[in-house]
Amino acid sequence: MAFKKQYLKSKAVCKVTFKISKDEAHEAESVRLVGDFNDWDKTTAPMKKLKDGSFTATVELAKDAEYQFRYLLNDSEWENDWSADAYVPSAMSFDNNSVVQV
């Protein structure tokens, strides 16, 4: 798991590309990127599945902020990004949420 940040000079946003490997996704058929940036909408469009079985999605996020997120595998299992910038306790469960800082 990992994400790549690309800061845009023309806008006050950062393009963040999230990626989760086939193994990290436990060979899931679908993965959704769910977090503060989409109001934790579990019905958001699935991430793009690549030929190697990994998943990717790119999101534009306002700079100078941090966003909590998690991956939703097969609409039933939550997974953190273990390369996240930080982790914070979830308000909804005993788990932690991953954090991306831009």
Structure confidence by residue, pLDDT tens digits, 4-22: 999 998 899 999 999 999 9
Nearest-CA neighbor of 54 among 80, 21, 77? 21
Predicted local confidence at residue 93, as pLDDT: 79
Confidence band, pLDDT 50/70/90 cuts, at residue 2: confident
CA 58, 61, 63, 66 dihedral sign is negative
What domains, with CATH codes, occur in the chain?
2-95 (2.60.40.10)
Q: What is the pLDDT of residues 29-82, one digit of tens each?
A: 999 999 999 999 999 999 999 999 999 999 999 999 999 999 999 999 999 998
Q: In this model, does residue 1 exceed pLDDT 80?
A: no
Which residues touch 25 (CB under 8 Å, ≥6 apart)?
31, 53, 54, 55, 71, 73, 79
pTM exceeding the 0.75 threshold for the entire prediction: yes
